[in-house]
Structure formats: C-alpha cells, structure tokens
Structure 1
Amino acid sequence: MKARATIHRDFALAQIDDRLYSAFIEHMGRAIYSGIYEPGHPTANPQGFRQDVLELVRNLNIPVIRYPGGNFVSAYKWEDGIGPKEDRPVRLDLAWRSKETNQVGINEFAQWAKDADIEMMLAVNLGTRGIEEARNFVEYCNHTSGTYWSDLRRSHGVDEPYGVKMWCLGNEMDGPWQIGHMEAKEYGRLADETSKAVKAFGGGIETVVCGSSNDGMPTYPDWERQVLEECYENVDYISLHKYFGNSSHDSLNYFAKIDETGRYIQAIGGVIDFVKAKKRAKNDVFICFDEWNVWYHKREQDAKNWRSWDWPEAPELLEEDYNLEDALLVGGLLNEFIRRSDRVKIACIAQLVNVIAPIRAEKGGAAWATSIYYPYQFASLYGRGTALNVAVNGPRYDADAAHDVNYLDVAAVLSPDGTSITIFAINRSLDETMELDIALQGFEGLKLVEHKVMGGTSAEARVANTSAAPDRIKPRKGEKLAVGDDGIKGELPAFSYNMIRLSVR
C-alpha cells in the first residue's frame, strides 16, 4: 500500500487554540473520589489529593478542565460543596443513582486545578435551577470582596477570586434523560438571559451554550438553529458531544467515524453561519466539543448496574479498558479537531480519571496510563501552533459510517515559533504496511527530531494496560522513516499511530 501527502508551509488552515486539548471531569463513579481525591492514599497530600494521579495529569499539559458535570450538574447545588466539610450534606445524585458526599466542592477542586496548572471551565445548573443560582456562583468565584457571596468565599479561606472565564450554560439540555430537559426555544431563552447575567460581571467571561448531545438525536441539527436564534449575540461557543464504540468489531468502520465526526462539525458550522447571516450579527460563535471519547466496552453492563443499584458512594462506573484500536481512534479524532480548528476552538476529552479516561487509578493502589493517554499527550504537547493543510493521495475504502475514507489519516502542525513541524499519521489498514511519501514544501533544513509509533498488527488491538501490566501498550521509537531536503519517506506499520517531529530553519 502506497500513500503520498503534500504539506506546504504557507497553506495554513487555522491558528490552533490551546484549549483544543482540554479535559472534563465529573462527580461520577470514581472520577473524583478515589480518582483524583483519596485521603489516606500513600501518595495523598494534606488536602487528600493523589499525587501519583496528579503527576500523570501534569504530564498531559492540559490547558482547561470542565467541571463538575455532565449529567451530574443538572440537579447539583454548588453551595453544598462549600464551608466546613463536616457540615456538608450528603445528597442523592439522580443522574448516576449514587450518593454524593460533597467532600470535594469548588474550593477543593480549584486547589487541585491550580496544583495541576489547569484553568477551570465551570458548568452551571440550568436543569433544576436558573439565573439567580448561576449569578451567585459567579459572584462567589469571581468577585473580589465586599459582597455576600465574595465575603462568604473569603470566610472559607479563599481570599483571592478564581477569575473563571469560561462558563457552560447547563448540560445536554436537548436530552430527555436530562433532569430539567427543555425544548430548544425554551432553553435558548434561558441560556440567553443567563449568559447576559454571567457576562455582567466583566473580566472577559465567555459562555458555552448547549448544542446536541450527539448527531443521532432526532432534534439534530434543528436544535442548534433554534437555540442560537434565541441567544446568538450573547454567547461565544456552542457545545457538541459524541461518544464512539465498536461493538461490531469492524475496525475500518470504527475508524470511519472520524470522518463522520468531521461532517458533524461541518454541519454545525453551517448552522452557525446561517443564524449569523439571518440575524445580521457581528460576532462569531465557535464550537466547544466538550465531551468526546471512546465509550462502549462496559456501557451496556454499566447501564444495567446504575439503574438498579442501591445508591452506592463512588461506585465503579464506566471504567473502560482501552486497547490499541481505541488509541488509534482517539488519535484520529484529535487529527480531525486539528483539521477543523477554524471551527473547533475548545475540545474536552471525557473524562480524565477512571471514568472513560486516559488515566486509571486503583483505590489504595497504583495509577497508570491507558492506551489513549499517549495520542492525547502527543497532541497536547506538540499540536499547538498553526494547523497546516495536508493533501493526501492514496488508497481509500467505504464503510457504513463514511465513504471514500483515506487509509492514511494525517494532520500537521507548525510550532508557534516556526522552528518545528509535527505530523500525526495513522495507518488505518489492519494488516498492510504503508509506503509513505510526504512532500514538505516551503521548509528548509529538515531534520528528524523524534518518531514515536504505537501498533503494528491487528492482533495487538484488543489488549489493554492494567495495574499489573501498565506498559503493555506504549509508544516506541520508530525506525523506518528517513528525512531528506524535500520531505519524509519510509514505512508506517499496519494498524499504527505515529507522531513525527521535525526541526526546520
């Protein structure tokens, strides 16, 4: 199998927003409790946060994290998580049928985010609450002093405001499963008024309005049109969500869902343009793809469990065992976000620890990276700068999810200082090595800095990293690429993800 790609330094797609490599964590399962927070763990700091998990998080260089939900937020009272811990109420979380102890609230989470060097993106409850509670939450977090809510924060030991700039206006309000589900126009009006109230605090606040929960919803894409017609001038982003699975074990169709995701983004981009033109608006609205990941290995069984169990505290839930195939899918989705970075400015892998996550942690035990950790890490570290157009000429295939799909999935990013280019390349073929020829035009002094590869054969596709074998799937040094004055030539193993970094003058 042969494939050729051409990249020119001057053919830029967009400047990539660093927030494209953000994450999401929810009060769900063991994401918070025994995930990032476990007092008594051998690595826990005095505040109860696991330092082994924190180290893995830091190594991802995550710019922003969305919190506290998710479905959880639609019945959440943020006030339950402030003040002395011994006085905090235990609540029943209706979203995941479990007990919430509120031992981690906004102040504890803000400290963790600061330790991780991550900026917070907070979600307000527009399911069972509304404008007043959102306004109070922003005042508690962002106002300096001299008011009820800001002085209450100070009485809790936090003198300086958090200055949170990104606020999500509810979660998946199009979903009938959501507590407080609304019709599009009803939600759009509430989001409009809430956004205006939130932005009245100043400080460059940006708001994210709920788009479709996925592109299979019966209301998609008219939901986006109706919502944006109500609030376009007062919001900055519209959210998209999508989860991926391969229950049929058809790997090529699984990988074609990357192209399907591109169509999803393109369609919503068209809706945004339509509403902007219809309203004669001056502002732009971009996409915040704030929930995406692989979720199917344990989905069916977990759904049976959480709908029947008796309100456990921090139960095991959605703890996916990710394999090599999933790593390639995640790498391809990140490539698609890079290719669509003119539209997608924020994207949050869902979630970060234990729950459908790149990081797993045993209660009282070890923490380790899953297979999807590595493509996410490479994109976050080296996918910042300018997205370059990549013209691909090579073999293609048809699948149920998409037709005319390239076996070569590739994205390229020029670093902010222009001294390096990183190419993320996936050979989707299950069993054929790919002879690759990448022409790099407009560059001088090309030198290979690093080539990391994951994969090789489909036989490796369905094993996973575990606490006992944490390095079963891990990047290794690539050895079959050569760099010349005009580009790259060599081989990509079958069924592989590749990160290729080059220095340039």
Structure 2
Amino acid sequence: MTAARLTVDPRFAIGPVRRRLFGGFVEHLGRHVYDGLYEPGHPEADGRGFRRDVIALVRELGVSTIRYPGGNFVSGFRWEDSVGPRAARPRRLDLAWHSTETNEVGLHEFSDWLDAVGSDLMLAVNLGTRGTLEAIDLLEYANVPGGSTLSQRRIDNGRAAPFDVRVWCLGNEMDGPWQLGHRSADDYGKLASRTAKGMRQLDPSIELVVCGSSGAQMPTFGDWERVVLEHTYDDVDMISCHAYYQEHDGDAASFLASAVDMDRFIEAVVATADHVGAARGSAKRIDISFDEWNVWYIDRVDAVKPTAIDDWPVAPRLLEDVYSVLDAVVFGGLLISLLKHADRVASASLAQLVNVIAPIMTEPGGPAWRQTTFFPFAITSRLARGHAVRLPLEAPTLDTARYGTVPAVDAVATVDDEAGTAALFVVHRGLEHPVAVDIDVSALGEVEVVETHLLHDDDPGAANTLDEPERVRPRAVETRLVNGILSVSLPPVAWIALSLRRTG
C-alpha cells in the first residue's frame, strides 16, 4: 500500500465558498425540459405539469443558481416566444439541436419551477442572432417593477413582482464555429460591450458574464479572452469557462487526471484577465463563471441534423450519457478543482441537470433516479461551507499520456469557523493499489468525525440504470483519529468526503 499525507490548516485559506459554485444548467435540449422536468401526464406531475420526484431530487442535489435557457439553444431563441398565453405561443425550429421547441415551458413556468426547487435564475441573452435591444427588452420585462410597456406585459402575464434576475450571460460560446451567429473575438467583444453598457443603464445592480472560450483546446484560446476583455473589462464582472471531459481510447489514467487540465485552464484564464487589467492600470478584478462543466462523451454523439426538411422532433433522446463509478470519481475531482480556485471562480454551472449529460435520469411515465455523478455533487454542495483551504500534500505520482506525471491523490478542505465544522474532499486517481492517507487536522483543535462518504466499486464501470437504479451508492468508511492525525485507506479509483466537527 502506498501512502499520502495532507495537512489541514485554516491559515491556508483560498477564498470563501460561494453558493453559486454549486449551480446548475437547464437547456431546452433533448428530454431535459420536456419528459424531464415537465411531464403533465406523469403520476408524479404537480398541478403545473412538473414532476415532483424530479423536484425532490434537484433539491437533494443542492443546486443554487441555474443558468437558462441555453447553451447553444439560446443563440436562436426569441424570448418573447416563451411568455404570454401558452395557446398563443409559437412552435419554433431549434437549429442548434434540430428539434421543435413548443415553448410550452417558458420564462414564467421555469421561474415557478425554480421556486419549487429553491434555486435562483441566471439568464442568458441571445447575442447570436439578436443583439443589444432584445437583451435590454428582456431585462426590462424581467426586472423593472412596473410603469413601462414591457413590465406591464409581465404583470398581465401573471407575474406582478419582478423576476429580479441578478446574473446575466452575454451570449453563449461565441468563439465556436458551431454557434449560430458565431463571431470573431473582436466583433463579439464590441457587441458584448455595447450590450453590457445598455443593460447597466437600465439596471446597474446586475452582474454580467462575458463569453470566454468554450474549451482550452480551442485554437483561439487565450487570444479570445484577451481581445474580448480588452473590449469589455470595465463592463462585466465575470468571464466564462466551459470544459467537458471523457475517457479516450481506454486511457483511464489520463481521464482520472482531468482536474489537472481544469486547474491549468482556470489559472490561464485568470492570468490573461489579470494581464488585461494590469495593462489598463485597473484595480478591478475579473472573476470566472465556470458555467458549463461535466463529464461528457462527446465522441459518442452522432451529428445532430435533420434527415429531411420535415424532420424536427419534439424532445428527442439526445446526449443521454450513462455514468460509471470511474466517471463519478473524475467528476468529484473536478469539484475539488473548482473549490481549489474559490478565490476566482465566483460561479459554476453543472451542465446539465436532467436526462441530458445529467446526474438525474427519468423515464416517461416511469421513475426518476440518481446517476453516479449525483453523489459527489450533492455531498459536496451540502458539506462545503465557510472557506476553501489549500492542503499541503505529499503523495505518490501517476504517469499519464495527456498530462504528464501528476499526484495520485488530490484534495481540498473547507472550514467554517463560525459553525465549528470542516469538510475534506479527497480523490484517489491510482488504478491498481490502495493508498493510506494521513491527514493532520491538529490545527483545527479537538474534532470528531461526523460523516464519511466513499464512492468506489470493485467494478469502475458500474452504473445506475433504469433496471438497476440503486446499483451504486456511497458508503461509510472506517477512519481513525489519534493525536490530531486522521487516517483513512482509499481503494483505487475512489472519491471520499469527510465531515468534521469541533468538540472543544
């Protein structure tokens, strides 16, 4: 058995654990909204047509702010289609996912659903096929209490109080050639700046997210961030990052080290943003909205396009990945990466929530169940409080084809001084041998272990499915706490969360 040693010291604080770090993402894509969140004929449907079993699971997941309505979908979206009497709403062809959008669920209905799950709304505006005026109109409709034509339209549509949306995304993945309305960094930066300035003239209190690169692998990565921020630095609060990971060609070692790539991605964007600020002589700091992240097997996706002019299905089965224990361990490592950068990652959105590359799956007329990735998110969202704390680490290494030699163990802690609690999140990337982990918690004072959650299976390919929805569950693990040293043994390919409480 190999060994690793960690030290928890609150003096190594990284930054506050902001609740927006545990955000989600709902896009009008596949069976996410229709047959996922919303299925009026289902036995679990409430009076509005939303599935109560899904609402319960989303609440258990603990998502804070949910980005909506896309994604690629937003670049062809006309927000006016999604409000007003349902019977009068148009059916539109969604070019992004080659589907028919019925607009049966729109802004008002989704806001009601958010109230039910206890999450806040984060709205994306269409800067692909629309522009500044349409964004300002949506902001007026959503946030102005009354006294104008658009705010009165909202009131007439049944919502007297404003939606009061605090965070707005200025488009989606505008660096991507696949994006409807794709632009160069220079053209997008100018449009985003004009739109941001106009929106702030209406509501100076909102927070704005400008599009960064849709992945660190993009050929324009780095230059895109620099050019866009040179146009928008004074106008926005955050720049977005998007990243998805998958196992390539059976290379589990590199896949398990995916968080190393996320670390580098975040740090590169921070460095670029700070360079732009320094060049401007600005004291302002641009934070990161990591508003799309997940494990996604993109290589398995067939081209999404119509086979005929009339081939535009409603809510087709798209991107319904089934996640294994291996996937969930990688996923837990990505959460560790986000916490390790809590000083600059102000917001993050797991993409997505239901059916579409999601921690929650449903069957029409049937059950809803938790995928393996559900557990690290729900547990981390619940336990991570206070400040994220960097952990000095001594650990064996793992050789990977993609990322070189990396630590076989990665970890982060959170400490809530006011509540007298702490939490540890540790991932073991090793493929063959267990690792004995000793954690020096003496700087926390006298503590006791309150909860342990180990995600592991002797079969890393094990998954939860319609036929076996409870195949994978976290389990408690034995720990030993002697003279301020907390010891635990981790099997290969494992993620663990430990909750501590001060006793003295």
What's the counterpart of residue 274 of structure 1?
275
On the 8 A contact 2:455/2:475 being kept in 1, the answer is yes
CA RMSD of aligned residues (A): 1.3
What's the counterpart of residue 428 of structure 2?
427
Matched, 1:326 2:324: no
What's the counterpart of residue 242 of structure 1?
243
Q: How does 1:95-174 map to 2 (within 5 A)?
A: 95-174=96-175
For 1:476, give the aligned amino acid. Answer: R
What's the counterpart of residue 464 of structure 1?
463
Displacement, 1:494?
2.0
On the 8 A contact 1:421/1:502 being kept in 2, the answer is yes
What's the counterpart of residue 493 of structure 2?
495
On the 8 A contact 2:4/2:435 being kept in 1, the answer is yes
Q: How does 1:5-20 map to 2 (within 5 A)?
A: 5-20=6-21
On the 8 A contact 2:325/2:457 being kept in 1, the answer is no
Aligned partners of 2:495, 2:38: CA distance in 1, in Å? 32
On the 8 A contact 1:10/1:442 being kept in 2, the answer is no
Q: How does 1:235-314 map to 2 (within 5 A)?
A: 235-296=236-297, 299-306=298-305, 308=307, 310-314=311-315
After superposition, what is the alpha-carbon deviation per residue over 1:116-174, rounded to whole angstroms, capped at 9, x for unaligned?
Answer: 11000000000000011000000111011110100000001110001001000000000
So what's the TM-score if we normalise by structure 1?
0.97
What's the counterpart of residue 436 of structure 1?
437
For 1:165, give the aligned amino acid. Answer: R
Aligned partners of 2:199, 2:489: CA distance in 1, in Å? 53
What's the counterpart of residue 342 of structure 2?
341
Aligned partners of 1:363, 1:245: CA distance in 2, in Å? 28
Displacement, 1:436?
1.1
Aligned partners of 2:406, 2:340: CA distance in 1, in Å? 15
Change (3 A) 1:307 1:406: farther
Q: How does 1:3-42 map to 2 (within 5 A)?
A: 3-42=4-43
Aligned partners of 1:383, 1:308: CA distance in 2, in Å? 47
Identity of aligned residues (%): 42
On the 8 A contact 1:165/1:203 being kept in 2, the answer is no
Displacement, 1:301?
4.6
Displacement, 1:418?
4.4
On the 8 A contact 1:199/1:206 being kept in 2, the answer is no
* Farther off after superposition, 353-362 or 462-471: 462-471
Aligned partners of 1:317, 1:211: CA distance in 2, in Å? 25
* Structure 1 unaligned blocks of 5 or more: none
What's the counterpart of residue 475 of structure 1?
474
What's the counterpart of residue 362 of structure 1?
363
* Farther off after superposition, 15-24 or 398-407: 398-407
After superposition, what is the alpha-carbon deviation per residue over 1:202-241, rounded to whole angstroms, capped at 9, x for unaligned?
Answer: 3620000000010011101100000000010110000010
* Farther off after superposition, 348-357 or 391-400: 391-400
On the 8 A contact 1:384/1:416 being kept in 2, the answer is no
Q: Counterpart of 1:228 in 2: which secondary structure?
A: helix
Q: Counterpart of 1:336 in 2: which secondary structure?
A: helix
Displacement, 1:300?
4.0
Displacement, 1:393?
0.5
On the 8 A contact 2:295/2:327 being kept in 1, the answer is yes
Displacement, 1:368?
0.4
Q: Counterpart of 1:331 in 2: which secondary structure?
A: helix
After superposition, what is the alpha-carbon deviation per residue over 1:298-350, rounded to whole angstroms, capped at 9, x for unaligned?
Answer: x4453235454721100000001000001001100000011111111111110
Displacement, 1:29?
0.2
On the 8 A contact 1:456/1:494 being kept in 2, the answer is no
After superposition, what is the alpha-carbon deviation per residue over 1:242-301, rounded to whole angstroms, capped at 9, x for unaligned?
Answer: 1111031221110122101101111111001100011112321100000011111xx445
Aligned partners of 2:339, 2:460: CA distance in 1, in Å? 25
For 2:140, give the aligned amino acid. Answer: E
Aligned partners of 2:475, 2:34: CA distance in 1, in Å? 33
On the 8 A contact 2:73/2:94 being kept in 1, the answer is yes
Q: Counterpart of 1:40 in 2: which secondary structure?
A: coil
On the 8 A contact 1:13/1:387 being kept in 2, the answer is yes
Aligned partners of 1:428, 1:47: CA distance in 2, in Å? 44
Aligned partners of 1:311, 1:174: CA distance in 2, in Å? 26
For 1:151, give the aligned amino acid. Answer: Q
Displacement, 1:416?
5.6
On the 8 A contact 1:98/1:313 being kept in 2, the answer is yes
So what's the TM-score if we normalise by structure 2?
0.97
On the 8 A contact 1:292/1:350 being kept in 2, the answer is yes
Aligned partners of 2:116, 2:438: CA distance in 1, in Å? 43
Change (3 A) 1:360 1:128: same
Aligned partners of 2:144, 2:392: CA distance in 1, in Å? 49
For 2:471, give the aligned amino acid. Answer: R
* Farther off after superposition, 96-105 or 389-398: 389-398
Aligned partners of 1:343, 1:332: CA distance in 2, in Å? 18
Aligned partners of 2:198, 2:304: CA distance in 1, in Å? 40
On the 8 A contact 1:134/1:198 being kept in 2, the answer is yes
What's the counterpart of residue 61 of structure 2?
60
On the 8 A contact 1:9/1:441 being kept in 2, the answer is no
* Farther off after superposition, 409-418 or 287-296: 409-418
Change (3 A) 1:442 1:224: same
On the 8 A contact 2:53/2:368 being kept in 1, the answer is yes
Q: Counterpart of 1:474 in 2: which secondary structure?
A: coil
* Farther off after superposition, 270-279 or 442-451: 442-451
Displacement, 1:62?
1.2
On the 8 A contact 1:351/1:357 being kept in 2, the answer is yes
Aligned partners of 1:176, 1:394: CA distance in 2, in Å? 42
